[in-house]
């Protein structure tokens, strides 16, 4: 297997393990993470249905095509994961990684009638112009057209809130998508906890919100540093994540 494919398997496996660590999952299939395989536009790396995020390692990752057929590895992709992610990848080839999770605070926010992430706090400003919303809940995503509607709702944004369902973060790399997913949950946590007080919240002025978002956009390299540091933690704990040591040890 070529080094790029090995690294891709390691990265998407690490995202699953880290997702479990931060309690982004529900049971063994409360969300789905996918990565378009390097060198392909029609091959996706993910996990098989029934595999818990805490047991994922590079060797358990499967490779599927856009029809849901397993090309490499054991097992089959979960039905909802296929319908959601195949549509998102088809519509947004620039976002090679999609992370869908039922994270506690993001999901709680998605359940509110006013479910918009607002510029109340600093972490929310990372996503000030990046969020899209799909408010129509159509039960489980067991049909391809449901994934298509989600893709249409995402449009040119990179964050999608799913009504009563959770969120999707897309990025050109696993590191950037995971970095956004992590801070999105923190932003939602801050908003939900502030709402608990029952007191009136203060909005950051629009010009300052855009300024802060531009500042965050200007330091996107921190996403890879963040993800690399988290992978080093995994590598210290689990030998299966030491297969490619150099990315863990990189300073930038």
Average pLDDT over residues 103-110: 96
Banded model confidence at residue 240, pLDDT cuts 50, 70, 90: confident
Token pair recorded at residue 174: 């696993």
Distance CA 251, CA 165 (A): 37
Q: With a cut of 60, say whether residue 248 has pLDDT above it.
A: no
- Decide: 98 and 167 in contact? Cβ < 8 Å: no
Average pLDDT over residues 229-238: 93
Residue 242 dihedral angles phi and psi, to the nearest 5°: -100, 10
Interstrand relation of 159-162 and 131-134 (parallel, antiparallel or unpaired): parallel
Instruction: Tell me the percentage of the chain whose pLDDT exceeds 90.
Output: 81
Q: Nearest-CA neighbor of 19 among 248, 244, 245, 234?
A: 234
Q: Nearest-CA neighbor of 174 among 33, 72, 50?
A: 33
Predicted TM-score of the model (pTM): 0.92
Distance CA 149, CA 136 (A): 9
Q: With a cut of 50, say whether residue 245 has pLDDT above it.
A: no
For the stretch 134-192, pLDDT in tens is: 998 765 545 557 888 999 999 999 999 999 889 999 999 999 999 999 999 999 999 99
Q: Which long-range contacts (CB under 8 A, 24 or more apart) does 39-45 make?
A: 39/4, 39/5, 41/93, 42/66, 43/71, 44/85, 44/86, 44/89, 45/8, 45/9, 45/12
Q: With a cut of 90, say whether residue 249 has pLDDT above it.
A: no
Banded model confidence at residue 33, pLDDT cuts 50, 70, 90: very high
The alpha carbon torsion through 222, 172, 23, 100 (nearest 10 deg) reads: 150
Instruction: Tell me the percentage of the chain whose pLDDT exceeds 70.
Output: 92
Q: With a cut of 70, say whether residue 243 has pLDDT above it.
A: no
Q: With a cut of 80, say whether residue 1 has pLDDT above it.
A: no
- Decide: 64 and 74 in contact? Cβ < 8 Å: no
What is the sign, positive or negative, of the torsion defined by CA atoms of 227, 235, 19, 70? positive
pLDDT of residue 244: 54
pLDDT of residue 137: 76
- Poorest-confidence range of 28-42, 70-84, 230-244? 230-244
């Amino acid at each position: 297997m070529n080094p790029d494919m090995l690294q891709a398997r390691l990265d998407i496996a690490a995202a699953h393990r880290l997702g479990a660590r931060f309690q982004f999952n529900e049971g063994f299939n409360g969300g789905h993470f996918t990565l378009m395989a390097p060198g392909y536009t029609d091959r996706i790396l993910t996990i098989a249905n029934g595999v818990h995020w805490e047991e994922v390692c590079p060797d358990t990752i499967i490779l599927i095509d856009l029809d849901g057929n397993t090309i490499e590895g054991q097992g089959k992709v979960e039905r909802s994961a296929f319908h959601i992610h195949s549509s998102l990848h088809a519509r947004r080839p620039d976002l090679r990684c999609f992370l869908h999770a039922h994270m506690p605070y993001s999901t709680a926010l998605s359940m509110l009638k006013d479910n918009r992430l607002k510029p109340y706090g600093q972490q929310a400003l990372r996503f000030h112009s990046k969020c899209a919303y799909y408010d129509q809940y159509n039960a489980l995503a067991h049909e391809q057209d449901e994934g298509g509607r989600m893709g249409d709702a995402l449009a040119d944004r990179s964050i999608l809130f799913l009504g009563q369902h959770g969120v999707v973060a897309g990025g050109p790399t696993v590191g950037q998508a995971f970095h956004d997913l992590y801070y999105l949950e923190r932003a939602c946590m801050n908003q939900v906890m502030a709402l608990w007080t029952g007191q009136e919240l203060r909005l950051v002025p629009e010009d300052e919100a855009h300024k802060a978002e531009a500042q965050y956009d200007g330091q996107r390299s921190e996403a890879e540093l963040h993800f690399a540091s988290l992978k080093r933690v995994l590598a210290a704990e689990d030998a299966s994540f030491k297969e490619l040591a150099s990315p863990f040890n990189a300073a930038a």
